[in-house]
Structure 1
Amino acid sequence: MQIKETVNEGLQRAFEVTVPAAEIEARVDAEIRKVAPQIRMPGFRPGKVPANLVRKMHGDQMHAQAVNDVIRESVDKLMAEQQLRPAMQPSVTLQDGYDQGKDAVLAVEVEVLPVIDTPDLDGLALERLVVPVSDEAVDEAVLRIAGQQKSYKDAPKTRKAQDGDQLIIDFTGSLDGVEFEGGKAEDAPLVIGSGQFIPGFEEQLTGVKTGEEKTITVTFPEDYPAENLKGKEAQFAITVKQVKVESETKVDDEFAKNLGLEGIDQLRGLLRGQLEQETAGLTRTQMKRQLLDHLAAGHDFAVPQKMVEAEFEQIWAQLQQEAARDENPEQAMKDIEAEKDDYRAIAERRVRLGLLLSEIGQKNGVEVSAQEMNMLLQQAAQQYRPEDRQRFLDYVRSEPMAAAQLRAPLYEDKVVDFLFDKAEVTEREVTREELEAAIEAEETAPAAKPAKKAAAKKAPAKKAAAKDDAPAEEAPKPKKAPAKKAAPKADGEEKPAAKKAPAKKAAAKK
Structure 2
Amino acid sequence: MQVTKTSDEGLKREFRVVLEASDLDGRAASRFEELKDRVRINGFRPGKVPASHLKRLYGRSVMAEVIEQAVAEANSQIVTDNSFKLALEPKVTFPEEQSEIEAVLEGRSDLAYTVAMEILPEIVLADFSAIALEKPVAPVEDADVDQAIDRLVDQNRPYEPRPEGSKAEQRDRVTISFKGTIDGELFDGGSADDVPVVVGSGSFIPGFEDQLVGIAAGETRTVNVTFPANYLAAHLAGKDAAFEVTCSEIAAPGHVEIDDAFAKTLGMDTIDALKDAIRQRLTGEREGLSRARLKRALLDALDTRHSFALPEGLVSQEFESVWAQITGEMKQGGRTFEDEKTTEEAARDEYRKIAERRVRLGLVLAELGQKADIKVTDDEVTRALVERARSFPGQEQQVWDYYRKNPNALASLRAPIFEEKVVDHLLSLVQLTEKRVTKDELFREEDADKPAA
Q: TM-score range by the shorter chain?
A: 0.7 to 0.9
> Post-superposition shift, 1:167?
5.8
> Post-superposition shift, 1:330?
6.3
Secondary structure at 2:7 match in 1:
strand
Cα separation, 2, equivalents of 1:289 and 1:267: 33
Cα separation, 1, equivalents of 2:168 and 2:278: 35
Aligned residue number for residue 304 of structure 1: 311
Amino acid in the other structure paired with 1:388:
Q
> Post-superposition shift, 1:191?
4.3
1:52-90 Cα deviation digits (max 9, x unpaired): 222122212211111111111111122111211110111
Cα separation, 2, equivalents of 1:293 and 1:283: 15
Aligned residue number for residue 399 of structure 2: 389
Residue 24 (1) aligns with residue 31 (2)? no
1:305-330 Cα deviation digits (max 9, x unpaired): 11111111121122112212335446
Amino acid in the other structure paired with 1:351:
V
TM-score normalised by the chain length of structure 2:
0.79
Amino acid in the other structure paired with 1:428:
K
Aligned residue number for residue 190 of structure 2: none
> Post-superposition shift, 1:252?
2.6
Aligned residue number for residue 346 of structure 1: 354
Once the two structures are superposed, the pairs formed by residues 47-446 of structure 1 within 5 Å of their partners are 47-96=47-96, 97-98=100-101, 99=103, 100=106, 101-161=108-168, 164-166=171-173, 190-191=196-197, 207-208=215-216, 243-326=250-333, 328-329=335-336, 331-332=338-339, 335=342, 337=344, 338-381=346-389, 385-386=395-396, 388-389=398-399, 391-396=401-406, 399=407, 401-438=408-445, 443=449
Structure 1 gap segments, 5+ residues each: 171-184, 219-234, 444-455, 458-472, 475-510
> Post-superposition shift, 1:47?
2.7
- Runs of at least 4 residues off by over 3 Å: 37-46, 160-170, 188-196, 202-209, 213-218, 327-336, 377-391, 401-405, 436-441
CA spacing shift, 1:67–1:334, aligned 2, 3 Å:
farther
Q: Does the CA contact (< 8 Å) of 2:295 and 2:423 recur in 1? A: yes
> Post-superposition shift, 1:22?
0.5
Cα separation, 2, equivalents of 1:27 and 1:244: 85
CA spacing shift, 1:16–1:382, aligned 2, 3 Å:
farther
CA spacing shift, 1:374–1:167, aligned 2, 3 Å:
closer
Amino acid in the other structure paired with 1:53:
H
My pick for the range that moved more, 269-278 or 31-40, is 31-40
Cα separation, 2, equivalents of 1:89 and 1:58: 29
Q: Does the CA contact (< 8 Å) of 2:337 and 2:343 recur in 1? A: no
Cα separation, 2, equivalents of 1:146 and 1:383: 28
1:320-365 Cα deviation digits (max 9, x unpaired): 1221233544644773623220110111011101101111111111
Cα separation, 2, equivalents of 1:341 and 1:423: 32
Amino acid in the other structure paired with 2:432:
V
Q: Does the CA contact (< 8 Å) of 1:326 and 1:332 recur in 2? A: no
RMSD (Å) for aligned C-alpha atoms: 3.6
Amino acid in the other structure paired with 2:25:
E
My pick for the range that moved more, 405-414 or 116-125, is 116-125
1:223-244 Cα deviation digits (max 9, x unpaired): xxxxxxxxxxxx99x996x643
Secondary structure at 1:422 match in 2:
coil
Secondary structure at 1:271 match in 2:
helix
Secondary structure at 2:129 match in 1:
coil
Amino acid in the other structure paired with 1:369:
T
Cα separation, 2, equivalents of 1:298 and 1:318: 29
Calculate percent identity across the aligned residue pairs: 34
